[in-house]
Amino acid sequence: MNFGRERQQEIYLGGLRGRKPAVPISAQQLEERARKKMSRRGFAYIAGSAGLESTAVANRESFERRRILPRILRDVSSRDLSVELFDRRLPAPFLLAPIGALEMAHREADLAAAKAAAAEGIPAIFSNQASVQMETCAAAMGDAPRWFQLYWSTSDELVESLVGRAEACGCEAIVVTLDTTMFGWRPRDLDLAFLPFVYAQGIAQYTSDPVFQRLVEERDARSMPVGRVTPTWPSRERPPPKACR
């Protein structure tokens, strides 16, 4: 099927009825729309990167150097974009990448992304720093493919628990991510003095994990003196999660 042509026809026919696309077609315009809709903290965390952000620019420039060359005067009336990966046939060489603390961009967060991926038959990669636990997302995807992104913890027991849960909810691959041994120096977040995890955003995989819950309870039991008074928090602020105290 020619999805691009179908989408074009849908847009142009809508134009005859006075309708324009609700979502911008241009990626730059879409990013600008997101900047206006999202909170300053949310946009800074998702759009920003480390240092001068020159690495992000270099990555984009590397992709720009790749060109798609049309094959002229060839029969392209029948095309197949599918690929076979890990013994599964996928409709296109495309996967939905994990994004941490996605609740700052969409009220349904990871659940909305999982449903969208399932509708197109492409793998969704569950984020280790998700806003919705993997079991909930997997239940909404049916038989659609899904993977799990793993940040290797200092606790091998916790890693084993996370991987076991991923396997149990049908994840077909583990994407091991090694870029956060230390937090990156992210000026946009630092200027706003904002880290989402301190506000219990993007930690659903942890708070729903039985091993993590036990480790936190054990640490609290070791560190909290008898008779200690628990502080109260201002009504307009959310207390940080136990894991971050």
To the nearest whole number, what is the mean pLDDT of the chain?
A: 88
pLDDT score for 228: 53
For residue 229, the SS3 value is: coil
| pTM listed for this prediction | 0.81
Residues of the chain by 3-state class (helix, strand, coil), percent to 5: 45, 10, 45
Which residues, including other chains, have CB under 8 Å from residue 136's CB and lie 6 or more apart? 111
Higher pLDDT, 192 or 184: 192
pLDDT score for 225: 65
How far is the C-alpha of 209 from the C-alpha of 165, rounded, in Å?
9
**Is the pLDDT at 52 greater than 80, yes or no?**
yes
Identify the CATH class of 80-224+237-244.
alpha beta
Q: 61 - beta bridge partners?
A: none
pLDDT score for 63: 92
How far is the C-alpha of 137 from the C-alpha of 146, rounded, in Å?
9
**Residue 73, phi then psi, degrees to nearest 5:** 60, 40
How far is the C-alpha of 46 from the C-alpha of 66, rounded, in Å?
25
pLDDT tens digits, 82-117: 999 998 999 989 999 998 999 999 999 999 999 999
H helical segments located in the chain: 3-16, 27-37, 40-47, 54-64, 110-120, 134-141, 156-168, 187-191, 204-207, 210-223
| pLDDT (average), residues 111-128 | 95
- At residue 226 the predicted structure's pLDDT band, cuts being 50, 70 and 90, is low
**Is the pLDDT at 53 greater than 60, yes or no?**
yes
**Residue 208, phi then psi, degrees to nearest 5:** -95, 0
CA dihedral 106, 117, 83, 166 (to 10 degrees): 90
| pLDDT (average), residues 13-20 | 94
Task: Please tell me the least confidently modeled range out of 74-78, 108-112, 163-167.
Answer: 74-78
Q: 96 - beta bridge partners?
A: 124
**Is the pLDDT at 155 greater than 60, yes or no?**
yes
Whose structure tokens read 């240092």? 51
| pLDDT (average), residues 172-195 | 91
**Is the pLDDT at 78 greater than 90, yes or no?**
no
pLDDT score for 178: 86
Measured CA distances, 16 to 7, 13, 25, 75 (Å): 15, 5, 18, 32
